[in-house]
Structure 1
Amino acid sequence: MEATLFRPLIVPAKTAVLLVFVPNVLTQRAGVNQLLERVGAELGDLIRITRVDQAVHPEVVRSFGVHQVPSFILLKQGIEIWRQNGPLDSRELIRLLSAQLRQEADA
């Protein structure tokens, strides 16, 4: 039996997906990873965080028109609902995401 490296991303419809385009520089990547740990701990099941490495997936980076890393793109049911380019601290990112998720829930 052949093992597959592909695992489909299955996300419930009510869950938002945060695409995080991460830099190639190891020290910057470590900072982004720490930031995402805090965001994940705070927002829990409301959001699914997916890292997109610009070196591994350049076609995804191009398809979203990302020119600056880190960049954060929030998707709901496959539709972009929010974008932030450039670094943020965890408190600010959590505040912005929470506000956007509340706005989507009210819509």
Structure 2
Amino acid sequence: MKSNFKKIVSSATPVLVDFYADWCGPCKVLAPILKEVKDSMGDSIKIIKIDVDKNPSLAAKYQVRGVPTMIVFKEGKPMWQQSGVLQKKDIVRVLESYL
């Protein structure tokens, strides 16, 4: 996972990483919102999901203290990080600022 993760977030395309857990209620609320974001923005962005229970070292590396936490990466660097559920328009606005 780690080497793959590094490769994915190193792209020039903004990558939104959703750190989540299966037991997390708000994560279930965020999932369809992220799908709408992807549907509206298409190939201009990437969205990947990371299960913090299966990837604790990755979560620790980026100081993910709670789920859901979204981090936007561009060319391998974390550019923006936010915990909690955001509305589609707010997520789109953040992503558009990195296009």
1:54 shift after superposition: 1.1
Q: Secondary structure at 1:72's aligned position in 2?
A: strand
Q: Deviations over 1:50-80 (max 9, x none)?
A: 1011111111111100112111111111011
Name structure 1 gaps, 5 residues minimum.
103-107
Pairs within 5 Å for 1:55-94:
55-94=53-92
Match 2:13 to one of 3, 15, 33:
15
Query: 1:97 is matched with which residue?
Result: 95
Query: For 1:14 and 1:88, how far apart are their aligned partners in 2?
Result: 24
State the distance in 1 between where 2:74 and 2:86 align.
21
Partners of 2:14 and 2:73 lie apart in 1 by: 6
- The TM-score with structure 1 as length reference comes to 0.75
Contact 1:21/1:70 (CA < 8 Å) preserved in 2? yes
Aligned-residue offset at 1:13: 3.4
Identity among equivalent positions (%) equals 25
Aligned to 1:33: 31
SS of alignment partner, residue 32 of structure 1: helix
Higher relative contact order (CA 8 A, sep 6+): 2
**C-alpha root-mean-square deviation of aligned residues, in Å?**
2.4
**Is the 1:20–1:52 Cα contact (8 Å) retained in structure 2?**
yes
Scaled by the length of structure 2, the TM-score of the pair is 0.80
Instruction: State the aligned residue count.
Output: 96
